[in-house]
Amino acid sequence: MKALFVVDPLDSLDPAVDASVGLMLAAQRHGLEVWVCGPEQLRAADGRVLGAARPVEVDEPRTARGPRWDVPRDWCRSGPDALLDVAAEFAQVHLRIDPPVDARYLHATYLLDLVDAGGVPVTNRPAGIRALHEKLVALRFPELCPETLVSADPAELRAFVARVGTAVVKPVDGFAGRDVWLLHDDDAAAALVGSATAAGQRHVIAQAYLADVRDGNKRLFLLDGELVGAVLRRPDAGDFRIGMPCTAAAPDAADARIVAALGPLLRAHGLTVAGLDVIAGRLIEVNVTCPGGMHKTDALLGTDLSGAVVRRLLHRTTSTTNPEGRRSA
């Protein structure tokens, strides 16, 4: 059986920490042939989705150094491209393009809709990614979140910062901590809000700053809406943004409440893998476009989150295959 990873260029991935590499390695360990392609290498003809993909063999990491694996310099080997029928050739497809969900990303989701409709599990389901914006879906649960404002109006945002005292402001389409600012109620706030919104032309998210972030941000790993692991991350020295995983996290009653609220929604939209970011029992973000952290956590704690994802998809594939080897629709 084969697994297809629709990913960004391999040379842009850090194999010591990248969750996509961890999933490739897990698929390989479970006897799957690993193939990769970029979103621009997908095409559709006569109702079939074809991919110009190439096989990849991932070298085993030697040891772990905290949340980083020790990997060989040349961490994988790849073969020549081949044009393959995705639904016919692959047992599972992993959509692993980094956000934002821009035109490049969206076009890939529409093509992969056809694969998903053909009975091949696509993780995460393309329609689910389009339906639940990872930065905004938390707004459906205001009682679980810190006080939040989404706006492009600099004056409104400035008033929000003045009222809450300190706020974290981030772009709606941001990721990996890029362009995330900590704003205080001072003279600099007006200029920073104006820049963040491109003078009122771009929406941003402003959230009341939670000082408890100094004690850590929990990443809750959900598989089909169920909690399968948790890790604690703390800000790096001199930076309010979250750094690498540092220790296991013990889920508490507040975390359980968040998972109970989000789990059914994620399952309903086919978002098999998700990472919930939680600070002091408050939901900050729901990562679904290219959920990360599993490979780092497996290195740090000796868990097998990446393997759990692959096994779940394998079970789903075998349970939807009839005795003749054809997938049920």
pLDDT, one tens digit per residue, over 265-314 is 999 999 999 999 999 999 999 999 999 999 999 999 999 999 999 999 99
% of the chain exceeding 70 in pLDDT: 94
Answer yes or no: is pLDDT of 61 > 60. yes
User: What's the whole-number mean pLDDT along residues 93-120?
Assistant: 95
Answer yes or no: is pLDDT of 203 > 50. yes
pLDDT at 187: 78
pLDDT at 181: 87
217-236 pLDDT, tens per residue? 999 999 999 999 999 998 77
Answer yes or no: is pLDDT of 247 > 90. yes
Nearest to 48 by CA among 88, 81, 90: 88
162-171 pLDDT, tens per residue? 999 999 999 8
Asked which of 59-63, 239-243, 314-318 is least confident by mean pLDDT, the reply is 239-243
Confidence tier at 325 by pLDDT (50, 70, 90)? very low
265-277 pLDDT, tens per residue? 999 999 999 999 9
Confidence tier at 324 by pLDDT (50, 70, 90)? very low
Answer yes or no: is pLDDT of 321 > 80. no
Question: Which residues are paired to 35 by β-bridges?
Answer: 4, 55
Structure tokens at 225: 């809406």
169-189 pLDDT, tens per residue? 998 886 666 778 899 988 788
Instruction: Please answer whether residues 123 and 294 qualify as being in contact, where contact means their C-beta atoms are separated by less than 8 angstroms.
Output: no
Say how far apart CA 215 and CA 80 lie, in whole Å.
48
Quick check: bond before 124 cis, omega within 30? yes
CATH class, 2-125 region: alpha beta
For the chain, the average pLDDT equals 92
Answer yes or no: is pLDDT of 326 > 50. no
What's the one-letter identity of residue 155? A
Answer yes or no: is pLDDT of 9 > 90. yes
Answer yes or no: is pLDDT of 55 > 50. yes
pLDDT at 33: 98
CATH topology of domain 214-287: D-amino Acid Aminotransferase; Chain A, domain 1 (3.30.470)
16-41 pLDDT, tens per residue? 999 999 999 999 999 999 999 999 99
pLDDT at 235: 78
Burial 61-72 (b: 16+ CB within 10 A, else e): beebeebbbebe
CATH number of 147-209: 3.30.1490.20
pLDDT at 157: 95
Residue boundaries of the structural domains of the chain: 2-125, 147-209, 214-287
Answer yes or no: is pLDDT of 79 > 90. yes
pLDDT at 190: 83
Strands across the sheet containing 148-151: 148-151, 204-208, 166-171, 181-184
List Cβ neighbours of 143 (8 Å cut-off, separation of 6 or more): none
pLDDT at 239: 65
Name the pairing type of β-strands 92-96 and 33-37: unpaired
